[in-house]
Chain A
Amino acid sequence: SQQGEEDPQALSIQEGENATMNCSYKTSINNLQWYRQNSGRGLVHLILIRSNEREKHSGRLRVTLDTSKKSSSLLITASRAADTASYFCAPSGGYNKLIFGAGTRLAVHP
């Protein structure tokens, strides 16, 4: 099974700034997914990018995937206080189960 490693572990920015989080993984993938978790709640699926895609957008989110470097990044543009959460990547090799890392804790200050 796959596990992604998010970097940095923690990120603190001001409202309006962009936030970039990175994910590295070790073996080949079928797709890679990003999730958000607000404090004390369940995870919410944000975006899925397939191995044959290089970039994907959803609202203020932009995800890139570089399979040659086995890495992905999540960019949140014009951050808001409500974006404060932990963010997890989940690389998938096509098996059913996802393995999650420790995540990146993002704090957006008003």
Chain B
Amino acid sequence: DVKVTQSSRYLVKRTGEKVFLECVQDMDHENMFWYRQDPGLGLRLIYFSYDVKMKEKGDIPEGYSVSREKKERFSLILESASTNQTSMYLCASSLGRSSYGYTFGSGTRLTVV
């Protein structure tokens, strides 16, 4: 069964910390995505990547960066965590163009205190 694995289900970090959220997929997918989900706001796209070492900004990239050194791994970095980054973070991957569905990870619920 194909999988997208997010390293943590729950994380609690302090304001100002540098936070790494890891996502690994085992499907050899070209595309990977990071979303955040907040009540009433749906899913908002933070960053995405079409290939190794490539990245594109989504709708809300401020305060975040990403890294994709290997095809299977896409990391989301909160440079200096703030309380307004408390959210559910969802990673997804897809094969090729959007004629294919996305496979999502189980999510990481991040709380910044």
Chain A positions within 8 Å of B, measured between CB atoms, are: 30-31, 33, 35, 40-45, 48, 50, 88, 92-103
Rounded to whole angstroms, the CA-CA distance of A92 and B107 in the bound complex is 23
A43 close to B42 (CB less than 8 A): no
Cβ-neighbour of A43 out of B45, B56, B100, B104 (below 8 A): B104
Check A41/B94 contact, CB under 8 A, given A31-B99, A88-B42, A96-B50: no
Chain B positions within 8 Å of A, measured between CB atoms, are: 4, 31, 33, 35, 40-43, 45, 48, 50, 56, 58-59, 88, 90, 92, 94, 97-107, 109
Interface centre among B42, B48, B58, B88, by most A CB within 10 Å? B42
Rounded to whole angstroms, the CA-CA distance of A33 and B4 in the bound complex is 19
Question: How would you classify the secondary structure of chain A's contact residues: helix, strand, loop or mixed?
Answer: loop
Check A45/B98 contact, CB under 8 A, given A100-B43, A103-B42: no
Rounded to whole angstroms, the CA-CA distance of A86 and B106 in the bound complex is 15
B42 close to A97 (CB less than 8 A): no
Check A43/B40 contact, CB under 8 A, given A96-B48, A97-B33, A99-B45: no
Contacts of B43 in A (CB 8 A): 43, 88, 100
